[in-house]
């Protein structure tokens, strides 16, 4: 059981380039989300999804797009990378979006540097 | 959204108990209290959660105040591997903004040998 898998682990981009951070879970989880973590800032929610075809914005959505075409995958797209998007990105999932208290399962993160 | 307040950092000695506090004075009756920890260079991992009663699992214990405005994560015998950032968050037992699970800065726990 792989849990939550994020790829790539590391990425360097030039300003203006685009890329997609991949997140996949094999636990049939309904809820998936993306966080970014900057030094001294804790985890900040970017986007989340409560099921296939449903996404919504978190605290810091600007500059990022998401889609949820399948239950398993929740990619995060940077359309035009900026140095301010240099961060560590974590994907997390849980069995349900609400109504019970299934814990969040996190991936190991993608470290992104934009130069 | 209900907020939590934690000390920025705490220090402990190995083999001693550690009590990590969390204040959540605006908690509502249906909010669950969740704790996560993040070891260096890793993603956060779930530790424990509870609603009203104290909870125990193999990792820790959670003591919840009678008025639910505060809680304490208890590590009974700290080890060097417990050095991490500990996050206390509230998870609403309903929809809507429940889904916006927000983390604060957490408490950095240092364990001295």
- The answer to whether residue B70 scores a pLDDT higher than 80 is yes
Chain B nearest-CA distance from A77, in A, is 19
Two tokens, residue B70: 């505060």
Contacts of residue B36 in chain A, CB cutoff 8 Å?
104
Q: What percent of chain A has pLDDT over 70?
A: 95
The pair of three-digit structure tokens given for residue A73, joined into one six-digit string:
């995958």
Using one digit for the tens of pLDDT, what is the confidence trace for B81-102?
999 999 999 876 555 555 667 7
Question: How far apart are the C-alpha atoms of B71 and B63, rounded to whole Å?
Answer: 6
Cα–Cα distance list, B40 to A108, B44, B84, B92 (Å): 11, 9, 7, 28
Distance, in Å, from the CA atom of A34 to the CA atom of A91, rounded to the nearest integer, reads 5
Quick check: helix, strand or coil at residue A29? Answer: coil
- Interface touch B100/A58, C-beta < 8 Å: yes
pLDDT for the residue B29? 80
Question: For A44-70, how does the pLDDT look when each residue is reduced to its tens digit (9 = 90+)?
Answer: 999 999 899 999 998 899 999 999 999
> Under 8 Å CB-to-CB from B94, ≥6 apart: which residues?
A98, A99, B30
Cβ-based neighbour number of residue A58 at 10 Å: 20
- pLDDT tens digits, residue range B23-62? 999 888 878 899 999 998 899 999 999 999 999 999 999 9
Chain A residue with minimum CA distance to B95 = A98
Q: Quote the pLDDT of residue B8.
A: 95
pLDDT value of position B100 = 66
pLDDT of residue A34: 96
Query: pLDDT for A9-41, tens place per residue?
Result: 999 999 999 999 999 999 999 999 999 999 877
Element (H, E) at A49: strand A42-51
Calpha distance A33→A99 (Å, rounded):
17
Q: Is B81 on the interface with A (CB under 8 A)?
A: no
Q: Report the pLDDT value the prediction gives residue B94, as an integer from 0 to 100.
A: 55
- pLDDT at B1 exceeding the cut of 60: no
Asked if B40 is an interface residue toward chain A (Cβ–Cβ < 8 A), one would say no
The Cα of A54 is separated from the nearest Cα of chain B by a number of Å equal to 12
Vertex B64: Cα angle to B60 and B68 (nearest 5): 150
Q: Is A86 exposed, middle or buried (0-12, 13-18, 19+ CB in 10 A)?
A: middle
According to the model, what pLDDT value does residue A59 have?
Answer: 87
Q: Which residues contact B96 (CB under 8 A, 6 or more apart)?
A: none
Examine residue A2 and say whether the peptide bond preceding it is cis (omega within 30 degrees of 0). no
- Give the nearest partner residue to B99 out of A40, A41, A56, using CB atoms: A56
Predicted confidence band of residue A42 (pLDDT cuts 50, 70, 90): confident
CA of A40: which chain B residue's CA is closest?
A: B105
- Pairs across A and B, CB distance < 8 A: 69
Residue B37: half-sphere exposure toward Cβ, Cα within 13 Å: 18
Q: Which residue of B has its CA nearest to A58?
A: B100
Residue A99 has pLDDT above 60, yes or no: no
By the 8 A CB rule, do A76 and A19 touch?
A: no
């Amino acid at each position: 059981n792989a849990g939550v898998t994020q790829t790539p682990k590391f990425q360097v981009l030039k300003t203006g380039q685009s890329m997609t951070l991949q997140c996949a879970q094999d636990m049939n989880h309904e809820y998936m989300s993306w966080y970014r973590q900057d030094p001294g800032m804790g985890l900040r929610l970017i986007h989340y999804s409560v099921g296939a075809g449903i996404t919504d914005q978190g605290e810091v959505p600007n500059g990022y797009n998401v889609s949820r075409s399948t239950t398993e995958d929740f990619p995060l797209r940077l359309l035009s990378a900026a140095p301010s998007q240099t961060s560590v990105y974590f994907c997390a999932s849980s069995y349900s979006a609400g109504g019970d208290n299934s814990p969040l399962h996190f991936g190991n993160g993608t470290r992104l540097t934009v130069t | 959204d209900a907020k939590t307040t934690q000390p920025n950092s705490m220090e402990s000695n190995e083999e001693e108990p550690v009590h990590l506090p969390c204040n959540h004075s605006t908690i509502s009756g249906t909010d669950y209290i969740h704790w996560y920890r993040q070891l260096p260079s890793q993603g956060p991992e779930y530790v424990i959660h509870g609603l009203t009663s104290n909870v125990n699992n193999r990792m820790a214990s959670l003591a919840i105040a009678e008025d639910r405005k505060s809680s304490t994560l208890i590590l009974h015998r700290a080890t060097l591997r417990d050095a991490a950032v500990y996050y206390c968050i509230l998870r609403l037992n309903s929809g809507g903004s429940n889904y916006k699970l927000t983390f604060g800065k957490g408490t950095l726990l240092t364990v001295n040998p």
